[in-house]
């Protein structure tokens, strides 16, 4: 039987189930008691948000493949007041030494998005404003969002993945964090499971 689990990964949790050594760091095992499921893609220890876990290896490979370019949307708090020039640079794609990013959907949010407080909170500096961006990427390189915003002069302070879009012609379907708080998880609904398994039929 295949499991599909939607998990809201908190800040400072490693995106794995086991540890080497004696470090006391938190892992997925501290939150999800289901055996033999694995994350589809990763979120860094200092990132938060939506994580899909499954024991369906074929689906895991399908969703992780850059060939299918499933959009992932993030709410990103950055240091400084962004401007249209920097946002357009992010949209166009930019060189990060070892690769060039694909075009990215980027918009500035007018207000702070409805996220629960982070534990611990970010360190605010009264003299430096912050901005919130919504960024949608179709690739998931290591620390890509953080490297992108730093490249245009706005270091990332907080990063939360809020949705994953599953593309299967003729339409699309979004997995979201709706109804979950950090550290909580749920099984996929029947309609979500049908969409996830349906992706494999058109491989």
Q: Which residues are catalytic?
A: 44
SS3 (DSSP) at 149: helix
Query: Distance between CA atoms of 44 and 100, rounded to whole angstroms?
Result: 20
Query: Distance between CA atoms of 115 and 99, rounded to whole angstroms?
Result: 31
Query: Distance between CA atoms of 7 and 22, rounded to whole angstroms?
Result: 25
Strand segments, DSSP code E, in the chain are 4-9, 13-14, 26-27, 38-39, 48-54, 72-79, 105-108, 130-137, 156-168, 171-176, 185-187
Identify which of 132, 153, 148, 129 has the alpha carbon closest to the alpha carbon of residue 80.
129
DSSP string, 170-183: TEEEEEE-TT--TT
């Amino acid at each position: 039987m295949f499991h599909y689990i939607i998990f809201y990964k908190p800040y400072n949790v490693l995106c794995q189930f086991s540890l080497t050594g004696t470090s006391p760091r938190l892992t997925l095992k501290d939150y999800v008691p289901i055996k033999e499921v694995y994350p589809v893609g990763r979120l860094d220890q200092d990132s938060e948000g939506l994580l899909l876990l499954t024991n369906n290896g074929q689906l895991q490979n399908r969703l992780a493949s850059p060939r299918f370019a499933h959009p992932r949307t993030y709410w990103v708090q950055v240091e400084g007041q962004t401007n249209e020039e920097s946002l357009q640079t992010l949209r166009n794609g930019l060189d990060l030494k070892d690769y060039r990013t694909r075009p990215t959907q980027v918009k500035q949010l007018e207000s702070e998005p409805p996220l629960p407080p982070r534990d611990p909170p970010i360190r605010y500096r009264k003299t430096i404003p912050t901005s919130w961006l919504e960024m949608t990427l179709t690739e998931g390189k290591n620390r890509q969002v953080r490297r992108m915003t730093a490249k245009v002069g706005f270091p990332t302070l907080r990063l939360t993945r809020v949705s994953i879009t599953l593309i299967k012609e003729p339409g699309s379907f979004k997995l979201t964090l709706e109804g979950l708080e950090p550290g909580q998880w749920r099984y996929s609904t029947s309609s979500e499971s049908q969409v996830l398994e349906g992706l494999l039929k058109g491989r």
